[in-house]
Homo-oligomer: A and B are copies of this chain.
Amino acid sequence: MDPNQSGVVTAIAIHGLPEFKKGDPIADIVIQNTTLNHHDVIVVTSKIVSKVEGRIIQAPNDGFTPEEIHAIIIGESRRVLRQRGQLVITETQGGFVCANAGIDQSNMPDGAICLLPADPDRSARRIRDRIKALIGIDVAVIISDTFGRAWRRGVTDIALGSAGIGPISDLRGTLDSNGRPLVATEIAIVDEIAATAELTKPKSGAIPVVIVRGIDPSHFREGSVKDEIIRPYGEDLFR
């Protein structure tokens, strides 16, 4: 049986990758460290994308003051949705709703702040295209990050950007097992794949690339998180 049709999905953490720094070619490093198959999904944390793309702000001295960090958050945002103490929930320039505009000091050298990639769909597309050029294999790429959720405690990994995979599985027109049109028709495939990848990681969080294998072949197509997943402001009931 074709493993893609047998209902088995496997996520594999790639161990032993080096620290990434500005200008490093993610695609080249990934293919040097693992064997890829057609229709693999490569899930890359946004942290290393930000590092290689230079989306890092280095503090001029011992580190940032809380006021300086707040100013960076506001600069990365187009709208503040909620604020409680040090926590600010904003809509980023890229349209993501998250805490502190996604800026992050974990797994970073002292005095450095990591911003979200400027255009995560483009980052995903570049990695996908480079892999295709290097080894001739069609993979999908997802740029992942860890986000909180309304109404539920705990964070999960979601997709910031994608290439080569349909972010939403559009089942409109599909019938359920009783022949009735399906109601919950639009499944956020790329977010579920990002969550799956996270489950393979050790608690220290130092695994930046995970391969997810066995995704239904019908999901592989062009598409972008920005165009399909981000809910426009006017459509949203909670902004």
Contact = CB atoms under 8 A, between A and B. Distances in A.
B151 A231 contact: yes
A199 B195 CA distance: 11
Interface range for A: 35 or more
* Closest CB pairs A-B (n = 4): A154-B188, A7-B13, A192-B195, A195-B195
Given A151-B238, A236-B150, A106 B180 contact: yes
A142 B40 CA distance: 27
Interface stretch (A21-29, A52-60, A121-129, A201-209): A201-209
Counting every copy of the chain, the complex holds 2
Contacts of A210: 7
Given A104-B183, A153-B168, A188-B152, A177 B205 contact: yes
B151 A97 contact: yes
A238 to B, nearest CB: 4
B204 A174 contact: yes
A171 B10 contact: no
21 contacts: A6-B13, A7-B200, A7-B207, A7-B210, A84-B237, A148-B184, A150-B151, A150-B236, A150-B238, A151-B239, A152-B188, A153-B186, A153-B231, A156-B191, A157-B192, A175-B204, A182-B205, A189-B199, A192-B195, A192-B198, A203-B216
A168 B155 CA distance: 9
A15 interface: yes
Contact of A108 (B178, B205, B238): B178
Contacts of A198: 187, 192
A18 interface: no
A150 B97 contact: yes
